[in-house]
């Protein structure tokens, strides 16, 4: 995959116009010297926060009870099997019982559990570090991916570093990175797909500049390797949790719109037909087709054995299901039908359930673990202590994220800024579909899938308000003059004031991360100190 960012020299698109490269390619293409230092700093900071004390608590926490056992079963047998009662205690004590020879009905695809199994293979199932190693690695790498997405969008190391820092210091992201749960993997692969689609956008425009031939439909742009890689990432995201499908659809729509706009800006006479006929089929094949293949491959353990749940359904029901599929895939289809029915019908009450309206304001975080050690127990030096793990988002980030999203909507709708349109689209794809299932049991941690868009929108808002980031002029047409005719939307005086506000905001993010660290990581603290951190009754 070509990673060159140089702009080829081409003749003007038309007499008196700017050159194609000026119209289609970003003004800033090369990273400045020492760009890797801030990237390394925010990534290492996030990694330290995610790995320190990773084995604590030495207990099976929340939904680790499902994913730990499923992952170890995959490692041993290639499929999820049932476990005897008390298996959790066996993992904690190191006396792990044998799995039962009965397939287990699980409702999430296997990739996230296979990734957890990597840690179990490296460190053993008796050590909580083994359970949580892969989520911590993926959580740390996602900080670097957010940084890279920030650079591709804003071409600013400062704004990319702010987005990375916000990710490193957010409580929801940190907690999910420190436990054997699935949502950190879902977020990572969706974020990876976004980065790859952004790389494909730049690469596709460079190809259009280089191959422009003046034909009515425009040139065919060749095999889009970044787009193929994005398809693999999309398939991996769906192979962790199915709600990735909304994000995948959003990325696919963005890729199509970007192709159309590029041909239009280049002056292709029949740009719409060219995008549909020359980009469309290959785009569908490379993203959706590649995603489908990579998704099915993650089920190899189930397909290559006969011990998985419903594995032999097709043989037992020869006349049912889609007959055009081979028996193994027909059985897999039926398994998916059963799992889909479970997801759509899930309406059991849970103490920490939280609907999507509550997510932006962090009204009901999920308590994953709570213990009340007394004096002399687990380092408690007072009469009563608390050990808590609460997936509480950093309030400074999430609350500032609300006006940042609204600003992003305005910059997209009012100024037609594609960067904010992309981020708003990714945010909406992760957030809005949950309103379609009002009766379903939902939790705050579902918001993790679109948190990177929140961090990037906040960083972009900082850029606009402090004058570091220019946006298309009011009334400009997206992709033509507005592609290069940009302006600062705040005066120099107000930009200076907003820089002061930004510094205060970032200091607040750091201070709140320090303040909430004990309840993000299960530290033993006096009970009254825990109460100080429960600002609202809905957090308890």
**Residue 3 clears pLDDT 50, i.e. is over it:** no
Q: How many CB atoms lie within 10 A of CB 107?
A: 16
279-293, 349-363, 471-485: the lowest-pLDDT one: 471-485
CA distances from 320 to 115, 314, 414 (A): 34, 7, 52
Closest CA to 329 of 348, 302, 349, 351: 302
| pLDDT tens-digit map of 196-230 | 999 999 999 999 999 998 899 999 999 999 999 99
CA–CA dist 288, 52 (Å, integer): 39
| pLDDT tens-digit map of 368-416 | 999 999 999 989 999 999 999 999 999 999 999 999 999 999 999 999 9
What is the per-residue pLDDT for 18? 64
pTM of the model: 0.93
Exposed, middle or buried by CB within 10 Å (0-12, 13-18, 19+), for 116?
A: buried
CA–CA dist 259, 255 (Å, integer): 6
**Residue 252 clears pLDDT 90, i.e. is over it:** yes
Token pair for 78 = 């290639």
162-171, 233-242, 437-446: the lowest-pLDDT one: 437-446
14-18, 223-227, 357-361, 522-526: the lowest-pLDDT one: 14-18
**Band of residue 321 on the pLDDT scale cut at 50, 70, 90:** confident
Which position has the higher pLDDT, 241 or 477? 241
CA–CA dist 51, 64 (Å, integer): 17
Q: What is the mean pLDDT of residues 254-260?
A: 94
**Residue 490 clears pLDDT 90, i.e. is over it:** no
What is the per-residue pLDDT for 484? 52
Are 161 and 57 in contact by the 8 Å Cβ rule? The answer is no
**Residue 12 clears pLDDT 70, i.e. is over it:** no
Q: What is the mean pLDDT of residues 455-484?
A: 77
């Amino acid at each position: 995959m070509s990673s060159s960012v140089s702009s080829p020299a081409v003749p003007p698109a038309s007499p008196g116009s700017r050159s194609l490269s000026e119209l289609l390619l970003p003004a800033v293409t090369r990273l400045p010297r020492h760009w890797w230092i801030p990237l390394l700093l925010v990534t290492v900071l996030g990694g330290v926060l995610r790995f320190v004390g990773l084995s604590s608590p030495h207990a099976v926490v929340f939904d680790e009870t499902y994913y730990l056992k499923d992952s170890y079963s995959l490692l041993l047998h290639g499929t999820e099997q049932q476990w005897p009662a008390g298996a959790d205690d066996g993992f904690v004590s190191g006396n792990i019982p044998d799995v039962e020879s009965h397939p287990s009905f699980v409702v999430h695809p296997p990739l996230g559990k296979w990734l957890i199994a990597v840690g179990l293979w490296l460190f053993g199932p008796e050590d909580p570090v083994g359970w949580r190693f892969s989520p911590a690695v993926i959580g740390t790498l996602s900080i670097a991916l957010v940084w890279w997405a920030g650079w591709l969008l804003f071409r600013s190391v400062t704004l990319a570093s702010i987005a990375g820092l916000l990710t490193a210091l957010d409580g929801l992201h940190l907690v999910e990175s420190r436990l054997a749960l699935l949502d950190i993997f879902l977020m990572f692969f969706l974020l990876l797909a976004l980065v790859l689609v952004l790389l494909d956008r730049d690469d596709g425009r460079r190809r259009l500049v280089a191959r422009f031939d003046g034909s009515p439909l425009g040139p065919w742009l060749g095999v889009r390797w970044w787009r193929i890689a994005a398809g693999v990432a999309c398939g991996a995201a769906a192979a962790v949790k199915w709600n990735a499908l909304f994000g995948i659809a959003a990325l696919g729509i963005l890729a199509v719109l970007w192709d159309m706009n590029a041909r239009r800006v280049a002056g292709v006479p029949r740009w719409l037909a060219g995008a549909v006929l020359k980009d469309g089929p290959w785009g569908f094949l490379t993203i959706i087709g590649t995603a489908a293949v990579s998704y099915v491959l993650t089920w190899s353990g189930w397909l290559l054995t006969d011990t998985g749940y419903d594995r032999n359904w097709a043989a037992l029901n020869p006349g049912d299901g889609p007959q055009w599929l081979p028996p193994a895939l027909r059985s897999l289809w039926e398994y998916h039908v059963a799992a889909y029915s479970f997801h759509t019908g899930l309406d059991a009450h849970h103490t920490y359930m939280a609907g999507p309206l509550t997510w932006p304001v962090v009204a009901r975080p999920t308590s994953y673990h709570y213990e009340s050690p007394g004096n002399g127990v687990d380092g408690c030096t007072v009469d009563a202590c608390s050990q808590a793990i609460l997936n509480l988002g950093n309030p400074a980030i999430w609350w500032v994220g609300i006006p940042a999203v609204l600003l992003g909507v305005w910059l997209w709708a009012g100024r037609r800024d594609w960067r904010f349109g992309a981020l708003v689209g990714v945010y909406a794809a992760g957030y809005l579909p949950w309103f379609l299932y009002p009766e379903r049991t939902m939790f705050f941690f579902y918001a993790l899938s679109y948190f990177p868009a929140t961090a990037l929108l906040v960083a972009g808002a900082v850029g606009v308000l402090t004058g570091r980031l220019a946006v298309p002029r009011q009334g400009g047409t997206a992709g033509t003059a507005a592609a290069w005719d940009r302006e600062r939307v705040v005066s120099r005086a107000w930009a200076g004031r907003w820089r002061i506000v930004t510094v205060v905001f970032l200091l607040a993010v750091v201070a709140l991360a320090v303040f909430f660290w004990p309840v993000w990581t299960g530290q033993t603290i006096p009970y009254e100190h825990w109460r100080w951190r429960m600002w609202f009754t809905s957090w308890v």
